[in-house]
């Protein structure tokens, strides 16, 4: 995988694309490194750059270039970010670069992406077909019920604290038993593991999902359905992830591994092939992320970056 900076002209990689058509004037407003990153559309790319150095600008310009210059149909582009505000901004920036709204692109948060995929695909796949009838719950209400039924005083375990522990465990894809095992002799932690078990049972019995389940059920959907896996790995020819360093485990599992020059088999549970990951340099303490960017993967080239604009 190619690693890339936004402001290091000496080692910048060369673009591997055709020359853009003349109406792609927005490319002129990019600095040389940003422009190279935008025009690099064949093969994966990891951008590591500092805050405010134009990382999101590269993603939005790349989407506009891909669609506006005819390299991809809108529905072949998937761009994911973390907040609704960021996703809205991304859509607006692309529209402003192209001079009009483009419909059919998949530009959204991870959660909105998952909700959309589940709505479209789950009813047709038997193992997760019940999702059609699913309802959403307010997690805080379920946790309070669990504490009450387990007769745990909420001054001993505050609902908010329990919920936060449960959500973190879910996002690490850790089962209640693992939490109980990790509790050792700690009574409070052992009780939280019980609340977690109760919480999951309540959701299951009432065929309900919480917010975290959106991600987890989508991971399941991709793991269980070859049809869904292959459909989206073909559809999403260009996948871009902003703030990649912030991905949790299920989000990470939903993002396909970088496409390298030699064809690689798709890993289980991954919907497609990634092309561009954008991360804030220096911020991550994320072990998986560290592994991915520290050169352990083969065929990486890298360059350092400084945080400056031109």
**Which residues of this chain interact with ligand ATP, rule CB under 6 A?**
29-31, 34, 51-57, 280, 309-310
Q: Which of 50, 271 has the CB closer to ligand ATP?
A: 50
Q: Interacting stretch for Mg ion, rule CB under 5 A, among 49-57, 73-81, 127-135, 164-172?
A: 49-57
Tell me how far, at minimum, the Cβ of 37 lies from Mg ion, in Å.
13
Residue 197's binding partner among ligand ATP, Mg ion, none (Cβ under 5 to 8 angstroms by kind) is none
Report CA torsion sign: 126, 112, 145, 154.
positive
Nearest residue to Mg ion, by Cβ distance, number only: 56
Q: Which of 30, 66 has the CB closer to ligand ATP?
A: 30
Q: Which of 273, 305 has the CB closer to ligand ATP?
A: 305
In contact, 187 and 199? CB cutoff 8 Å: no
Residue 202's binding partner among Mg ion, ligand ATP, none (Cβ under 5 to 8 angstroms by kind) is none
Tell me how far, at minimum, the Cβ of 251 lies from Mg ion, in Å.
17
Tell me how far, at minimum, the Cβ of 48 lies from ligand ATP, in Å.
11
Tell me how far, at minimum, the Cβ of 190 lies from ligand ATP, in Å.
41
Q: Which of 56, 61 has the CB closer to Mg ion?
A: 56
* 217-221 CB contacts, 8 Å cutoff, 24+ apart: 217/114, 217/118, 217/122, 217/128, 217/131, 218/113, 218/114, 218/117, 218/118, 218/250, 218/254, 219/250, 219/253, 219/254, 219/269, 220/127, 220/128, 221/117, 221/118, 221/121, 221/122, 221/125, 221/128
Tell me how far, at minimum, the Cβ of 127 lies from ligand ATP, in Å.
38
* 294-303 CB contacts, 8 Å cutoff, 24+ apart: 297/1, 297/258, 298/260, 299/1, 299/260, 299/261, 300/1, 300/2, 300/3, 301/2, 301/3, 301/13, 302/3, 303/3, 303/4, 303/5, 303/8, 303/10, 303/11, 303/12, 303/13
Contacts for 36 with CB less than 8 Å, ≥ 6 apart: 4, 12, 13, 14, 15
Q: Which of 54, 258 has the CB closer to Mg ion?
A: 54
Residue 131's binding partner among Mg ion, ligand ATP, none (Cβ under 5 to 8 angstroms by kind) is none
Tell me how far, at minimum, the Cβ of 5 lies from ligand ATP, in Å.
12
Q: Which of 56, 139 has the CB closer to Mg ion?
A: 56
Q: Interacting stretch for Mg ion, rule CB under 5 A, among 20-28, 51-59, 88-96, 266-274?
A: 51-59
In contact, 305 and 49? CB cutoff 8 Å: yes
Q: How far apart are CA 145 and CA 139, in angstroms?
A: 10
- When asked if residue 56 is in the footprint of Mg ion (CB under 5 A), the reply is yes
Residue 29's binding partner among Mg ion, ligand ATP, none (Cβ under 5 to 8 angstroms by kind) is ligand ATP
Tell me how far, at minimum, the Cβ of 259 lies from ligand ATP, in Å.
23
Q: Which residues bind Mg ion (CB under 5 A)?
A: 55-56
């Amino acid at each position: 995988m190619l690693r890339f900076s936004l402001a290091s002209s000496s080692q910048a990689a060369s673009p591997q694309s055709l020359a853009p058509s003349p109406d792609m004037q927005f490319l002129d407003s990019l600095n040389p490194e940003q422009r190279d990153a935008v025009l690099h559309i064949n093969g994966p790319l990891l951008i590591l750059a500092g805050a405010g150095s134009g990382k999101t600008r590269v993603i939005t310009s790349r989407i506009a270039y891909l669609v506006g210059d005819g390299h991809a149909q809108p529905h072949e582009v998937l761009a994911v970010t973390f907040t609704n505000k960021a996703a809205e901004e991304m859509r607006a920036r692309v529209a402003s670069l192209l001079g009009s709204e483009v419909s059919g692109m998949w530009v959204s948060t991870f959660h909105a992406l998952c909700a959309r995929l589940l709505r479209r695909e789950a009813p047709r796949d038997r193992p997760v077909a019940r999702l059609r009838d699913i309802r959403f719950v307010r997690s805080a209400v379920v946790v309070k019920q669990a504490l009450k039924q387990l007769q745990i005083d909420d001054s001993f375990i505050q609902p908010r604290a329990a919920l936060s522990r449960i959500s973190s465990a879910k996002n690490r894809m850790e089962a209640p038993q693992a939490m109980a095992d990790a509790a050792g002799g700690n009574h409070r932690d052992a009780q939280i593991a019980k609340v977690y078990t109760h919480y999951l049972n309540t959701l299951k019995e009432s065929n309900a999902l919480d917010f975290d389940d959106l991600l987890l059920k989508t991971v399941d959907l991709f793991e269980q359905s070859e049809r869904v896996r292959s459909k989206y790995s073909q559809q999403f020819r260009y996948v871009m992830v902003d703030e990649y360093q912030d991905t949790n485990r299920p989000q990470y599992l939903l993002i396909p591994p970088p496409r390298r020059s030699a064809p690689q088999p798709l890993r289980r549970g991954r919907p497609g092939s990634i092309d561009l990951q954008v991360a804030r340099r220096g911020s991550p303490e994320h072990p998986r992320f560290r592994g991915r960017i520290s050169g352990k993967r083969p065929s990486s080239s890298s360059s350092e970056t400084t945080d400056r604009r031109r």
